[in-house]
């Protein structure tokens, strides 16, 4: 990546079940006309005016005032890709992406349109800098429930809602979910215009409409298509975005993306851009994700997610070969938290989870989403590959801990980088790094790394601790050599090394050169 790209977090939306008296938006005349081609009958856009007329009254502007010390007053760099645990931690790994996302709220504190307005730091407000965040949202029920982004209302208990006709209402924050960047608001009243979510997921190439409040301009409509599905943009463990090319900019945060029938298919939440403006790459949270989150926010004020207490990472082709797996699929267990459901079920590092309740697991993020979508207390059946054999593990899900309850895998040692010279630490064979015993029989600490060697190419850094090599615990250079020799003798082309880096554990596959 030649330059660091910024992602302007834009809208998010969730869905709720609508009351019995709600009136559904019924599709009308399709905004397309057919045209005959050599390949058959295709569709071309004629007009979206009928759809816009029906859905636009349900889309609102969301305005929140907070102190300038709020987290949203500055850019916050998103983590790069790496090993995932169920709490959403990301650590470095092979091929780690350049950190490219900068999360922010749309700040209009210095906008001349807001000067003198007491809601945005004008006369009558307490002294001290104030910040105004603007985004979008939409009604999902006639009794006043509104979906928007968490980052639009973060730190606030209420917000001002400006409807399409200019009417301003107060709305309280019912609940927020930082992990999916969704929030649910409630305005007092009844008979609000609202929209429904689509029953079916869109296909790549389907036409879409984005409606929102870009740059504080009020209800704005843009059109495009679904460019891709299942995008992982590195913002968290539950990434599964729709990519659209409709123009989405700052202030669209929390706004809906509609299909051609006026049904919500997603919530605009991020853009991919070197300038912070639209370049035709925007991301929306799919409706199937937001429905579950918002329903939980409405019922409980928070989201409860299943948890099993493991750190996981993707299975690369090299790792698959090292573990004798038929293909690089599933989620590799890198660490197990003591006392967790996984520990009680005897899951172990180097296990590969390949199915949940009989449904195949594509990769590590697929497992994270599956477990996170399940309710705490639910019983699940995991299919696990261990030592080349398949086994079934039954466990009961716990509840995902908060930030302060994360599993601590810290080894408690001092950072020893820079304390040793290369000639003071023996070199591990063919790995391109220098190591020495970490002490207390806790593995081998990496003291130096050759920038052009295999270890550096796979993200191994000074200060990492090698816990085991090819499934063998190591506490000396001799242990490492013997483990590598055994892997070669076993006909393996690479050896799997388990590392502890800071508070996390991960696996890397190091190629084995012939003796």
Query: How many angstroms from the chain centroid is the CA of residue 51?
Result: 31
408 catalytic? Reply is no
Kindly give, in sequence order, each residue whose CB lies less than 8 Å from that of residue 98, ignoring residues fewer than 6 positions away: 1, 4, 80
Find the catalytic residue in 84, 133, 143, 151: 151
What token pair was written down for 317? 């082709």
Find the catalytic residue in 143, 181, 366, 468: 181
Taking the C-alpha atoms of residue 251 and residue 47, their distance in angstroms, rounded to an integer, is: 25
DSSP letter at 427 equals B
151 catalytic? Reply is yes
CB 177 within 8 A of CB 303: yes
Kindly give, in sequence order, each residue whose CB lies less than 8 Å from that of residue 135, ignoring residues fewer than 6 positions away: 10, 11, 61, 62, 105, 106, 148, 149, 151, 152, 153, 212, 213, 251, 252, 253, 254, 255
Q: What is the dihedral of CA 378, 232, 276, 111, to 10 degrees?
A: 0
- Give the burial class of 376: count Cβ atoms within 10 A of its Cβ; 0-12 exposed, 13-18 middle, 19 or more buried: middle
DSSP letter at 97 equals P
Query: How many angstroms from the chain centroid is the CA of residue 201?
Result: 19
Give whole-number Cα distances, 382 to 219, 352, 389, 390, in Å. 47, 10, 14, 10
CB 396 within 8 A of CB 381: no
Taking the C-alpha atoms of residue 93 and residue 101, their distance in angstroms, rounded to an integer, is: 18
253 catalytic? Reply is yes
Sign of CA dihedral 121, 127, 131, 136: negative
> Residue 41 is inside which H or E element, if any?
strand 40-45
CB 195 within 8 A of CB 55: yes
Task: Indicate the SS3 state at residue 439.
Answer: coil
Task: Indicate the SS3 state at residue 153.
Answer: helix
Kindly give, in sequence order, each residue whose CB lies less than 8 Å from that of residue 79, ignoring residues fewer than 6 positions away: 90, 99, 234
Taking the C-alpha atoms of residue 200 and residue 288, their distance in angstroms, rounded to an integer, is: 9
Find the catalytic residue in 70, 136, 235, 253: 253
Question: Nearest CA to 496 among 374, 410, 387?
Answer: 387
Q: Residue 43, CB half-sphere, CA atoms under 13 Å: how many?
A: 11
Taking the C-alpha atoms of residue 483 and residue 443, their distance in angstroms, rounded to an integer, is: 13
Residues tagged active-site: 151, 181, 253
């Amino acid at each position: 990546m030649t330059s660091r790209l910024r992602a302007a977090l834009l809208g998010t939306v969730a869905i709720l079940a609508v009351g019995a008296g709600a009136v559904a938006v019924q599709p009308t005349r399709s905004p397309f006309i057919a045209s005959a081609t050599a390949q058959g009958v295709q569709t071309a856009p004629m007009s979206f005016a009928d759809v816009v007329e029906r859905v636009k009254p349900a889309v609102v502007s969301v305005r929140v005032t907070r102190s300038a010390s709020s987290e949203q007053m500055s850019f916050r760099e998103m983590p790069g890709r790496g090993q995932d645990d169920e709490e959403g931690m990301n650590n470095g790994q092979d091929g780690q992406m350049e950190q490219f996302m900068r999360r922010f709220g749309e700040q209009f504190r210095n906008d001349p349109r807001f000067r003198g307005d007491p809601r945005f730091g004008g006369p009558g407000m307490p002294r001290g800098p104030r910040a105004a965040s603007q985004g979008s949202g939409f009604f999902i029920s006639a009794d006043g429930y509104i979906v928007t982004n968490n980052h639009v209302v973060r730190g606030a208990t209420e917000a001002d809602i400006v409807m399409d006709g200019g009417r301003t209402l107060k709305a309280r924050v019912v609940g927020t979910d930082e992990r999916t960047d969704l929030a649910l608001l409630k305005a007092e009243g009844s008979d609000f215009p609202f929209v429904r979510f689509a029953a079916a997921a869109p296909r790549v190439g389907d036409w879409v409409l984005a409606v929102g409040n870009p740059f504080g301009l009020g209800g704005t409509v843009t059109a495009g298509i679904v460019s891709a599905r299942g995008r992982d943009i590195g913002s968290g463990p539950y990434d599964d975005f729709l990519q659209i090319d409709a123009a989405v900019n700052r202030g669209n945060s929390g706004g809906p993306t509609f299909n051609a029938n006026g049904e919500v298919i997603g919530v605009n939440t991020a853009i991919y851009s070197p300038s912070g403006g639209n370049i035709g790459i925007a991301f929306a949270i799919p409706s199937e994700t937001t429905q579950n989150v918002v329903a939980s926010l409405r019922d409980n004020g928070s989201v409860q997610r299943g948890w099993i207490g493991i750190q996981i990472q993707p299975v690369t082709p090299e790792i698959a070969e090292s573990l004798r797996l038929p293909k690089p699929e599933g989620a590799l267990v890198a660490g197990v938290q003591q006392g967790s459901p996984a520990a009680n079920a005897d899951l172990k590092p180097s296990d590969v989870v390949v199915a949940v309740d009989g449904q195949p697991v594509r990769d590590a993020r697929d497992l994270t989403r599956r477990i996170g979508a399940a309710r705490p207390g639910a019983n699940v059946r995991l299919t696990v590959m261990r030592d080349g054999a398949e086994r079934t593990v039954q466990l009961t899900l716990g509840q995902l801990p908060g930030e302060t309850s994360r599993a601590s895998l810290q080894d408690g040692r001092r950072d020893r980088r820079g304390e040793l010279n290369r000639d003071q630490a023996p070199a591990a064979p063919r790995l391109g790094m220098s190591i020495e015993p970490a002490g207390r029989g806790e593995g081998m600490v990496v003291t130096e790394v050759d920038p052009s060697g295999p270890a550096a190419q796979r993200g191994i850094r000074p200060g990492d601790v090698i816990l085991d090599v090819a499934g063998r615990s190591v506490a000396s250079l001799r242990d490492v050599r013997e483990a590598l020799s055994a892997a070669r003798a076993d006909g393996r082309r690479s050896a799997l090394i388990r590392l502890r880096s800071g508070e996390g554990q991960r696996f890397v596959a190091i190629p084995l050169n012939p003796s």
